[in-house]
Amino acid sequence: MTAPATLDKQAGRPPLWRDVRVLSWTFQLAVVGLVVLLVSWLWGNVQSNSDRLNIDTGFDFLDQPAGFPIPGSDFRNNQPISDAVVEGLLNTIRLAAAGLVLATLLGVLLGIARLSGNFLVRTGAKFYVEFVRNIPLLSLLYLIYLAVILTVFPRPVDSWTLEGLAVLNVRGSHVAWFDGSALALIGIVVLGMAAAWGVGRWRTTVAERTGQPARTALFALPVMALIVAAGWLIGGYTLNRPELDGNRVSGGIEMTPAYLGALLALVLYTSSHIAEIVRGSIQAVPIGQGEAANALALSGFQRTWHVILPQAMRIAIPPIGNQYLNLMKNSSLAAIISYGDLTKVTELGVANRSPAVPAYALTLLIYLGVSLVISLAVNIFNRRLALVER
C-alpha cells in the first residue's frame, strides 16, 4: 500500500495553478481584499460626504450639551449627550430586564398549559399562542398603547385602583414598591438563594446517605424566606403603596404609559414564543422517560419536576436564550411610542445635530455589546446544564 506515496514523491508538488493550498490562499486573499476595498470605499464616502456637509465623523459630539429632554426622565437639556446615551441604555435595560422575567414566567406557564389534560385550558392556551405568535409585534404595541392605554384607561380622577397594589390611569401607572436600596435587597435575595442552595445540597447528601426522602423544598424554602424576611426587617424596608389623591397619585413606583405599553407588548409577544419552545421541549423528552417515572411510582409532581423538566430545560435553554436576545432587540420598538430608550435617545440626538453615522454606529455597538452579554450568560448557564457525556 505504499504505491500512492511513491507516486506522490515521483510527481513532486503540483504546479502552482493546481496546488490546492496556493489556490485556497489566493481565493481567500482575493475575498478579503474585496471586503477591505468595499469597507474602505464606504468609509471614504462617509469621509467625503461628511466633509462636504461639514459634519464631524468623530465622537466629540458626546461631550456637547444634549439640548433635548428624554421623555419620562429627569434628564436636563444641558447635560452632555454621553449622559443621555447612558440614560437611554438604562431605560432599555429597565424595559428588557422586566420584560425578560415576566415573559419567562408567562411563557413557561402557557407552555405547560398548552399540554394540560384539561381541554379548555389546552385550547385556550393554543388560541392565545397561535394568534399572538403570528401577528407583528408592532401591531400589538400599537393596539396596547394607542387603542387601550391611551383610549380606554381612565383620567387620573377616575383611576382604576387595585386595593393599594396599583393605580392605573392614562397619565401613568403606579405599582406598589419598596422603600430602600434595591441593590441591597437583591443582595439579600441572592444570599437567601445561596443559603437555600446550601440546604438543598445538605438534604441531598443526607438523602443519599440514609435513603430518607430529601424533602429539599420543605427545608430550603423556609430558610430562604427566613433570610429574606430578616433582611427586609433589619434593612428597614417598607412597602410603599400608591394612593390616589384627587388628581395626583403618590407613592409606589411610576410607570409611564409608554413603558407600560412597551412592557406589556413585549411580554405578551415573547411569552407566546417561549410557550412554543417550552411545549416543544417537553414533547421532545422521550415518552419512555415519563413512563419509567410512572413505573417507579413517582408522583405527578416528582415526575414533572425531577424527570421531565430537567431534560426539557436542557433542550429549551438555547432557543429561549435566542428569545431573550430578540426581546432585548425588540425593545427598540418602544422608541416608536416615544419611550426614552437608547434608540429614542439616538433619534433625538441625530435630530438635534449629532452626526448621524457615529451616533448610530455607537448605538449599534452598544446593542451588540448587550447582546453579547446576554448570549454569554445563556451560554454559561447552558454549559452548566449540558449533558455530560460518558
Partner 1 sequence: MTAIARAPTAVVVPVPGPVPRALTWGRRNLFRTPIDGMVTIVATVIAAYIGYRLFQFVFVTGRWDVVRVNLSLFLVGRFERNELWRPVVAVLAVAGYIGVWTGYSRTRTTAPIPATGAVIANPENPTTLGGGAAVIGAVAQEPPPPSADEASEVDDEGATPVERAVDMLGRLWPLIAGVLLLLSLATTGTPWLVAGGTVLAAGGGYLLGRFVPTRALLVVATLGLIVAAAYFLWVDPFNWLGVPSSVGKALGVIAAAAVAATAAGLAFVRRIPAALVGVGLFGSLALLILLTNAVGWDDWGGLMMNIFLAVISIGLCFPLGVLLALGRRSKMPLIRIVCTAYIELFRGVPLYVLLLMAGIALGFFVPSSITPGLVTRAIAVFTLFTAAYVAEIVRGGLQSLPRGQTEAAQALGLSAVRTTFFIVLPQALRNVIPAMVGQFISLFKDTTLVGGALGFLDLLAGSQAATRQGDFRGQGLLGETIPFVMLLFWVGSITMSRESQRLERKLGVGTR
DSSP helix/strand/coil, 77: coil
Q: How many helices (H) and strands (E) does the chain have?
A: 13, 8
CA-CA distance, 229 to 268, in Å (whole number)?
Answer: 32
How many CA atoms lie within 13 Å of 342's alpha carbon, on the beta-carbon side?
25
Q: How far is the CB of 153 from partner 1 (least distance, A)?
A: 12
Binding partner 1 (rule: CB under 8 A), the pick from 84, 96, 110, 140 is 140
Which phi and psi angles does 77 have, rounded to 5°? -60, -35
Site for partner 1 in 316-335 (CB under 8 A): 325, 329-333, 335
| Identity of the residue, 228 or 346, whose beta carbon is nearer to partner 1 in the bound complex | 346
Residue 28 in contact with partner 1, rule: CB under 8 A: yes
Stretch that binds partner 1, among 74-82, 136-144, 211-219, 252-260 (CB under 8 A): 136-144
Q: Which own/partner pairs from 7-12 qualify as long-range (CB within 8 Å, at least 24 positions apart)?
A: none
Q: Taking contact as CB under 8 A, which single stretch among the options 217-225, 233-241, 252-260, 296-304 is the one that binds partner 1?
A: 296-304
Residues 29-68, interacting with partner 1 (CB under 8 A): 29, 31-32, 35, 42, 45-46, 48-50, 52
- Of 85 and 140, nearer to partner 1 (C-beta) is 140
Give me the least distance between CB of 150 and partner 1, in Å please.
9
E strand intervals along the chain: 160-161, 166-169, 172-175, 177-179, 238-240, 243-245, 248-250, 253-255
8 Å CB contact between 165 and 175: yes
- Other C-beta atoms lying within 10 Å of the C-beta of residue 247: 11
Minimum CB distance to partner 1 smaller for 183 or for 297: 297
Q: Which residue has the cell 393554543?
A: 126
3-state secondary structure of 174: strand
Task: Write out the three cell numbers for 265.
Answer: 407588548
Return the residues of window 144-203 that contact partner 1 according to CB under 8 A: 146-148, 151
Q: Considering the rule CB under 8 A, would residue 284 count as an interface residue with partner 1?
A: no
CB nearer partner 1, residue 4 or residue 300: 300
User: Nearer Cβ to partner 1, position 159 or 331?
Assistant: 331
Cα(375)–Cα(377) distance, rounded to whole angstroms? 5
Binding positions for partner 1, rule: CB under 8 A: 24, 27-29, 31-32, 35, 42, 45-46, 48-50, 52, 117-121, 124, 130-131, 133-140, 142-143, 146-148, 151, 294-297, 299-300, 325, 329-333, 335-336, 343, 346-347, 350, 356-357, 360, 363-364, 367-368, 371-372
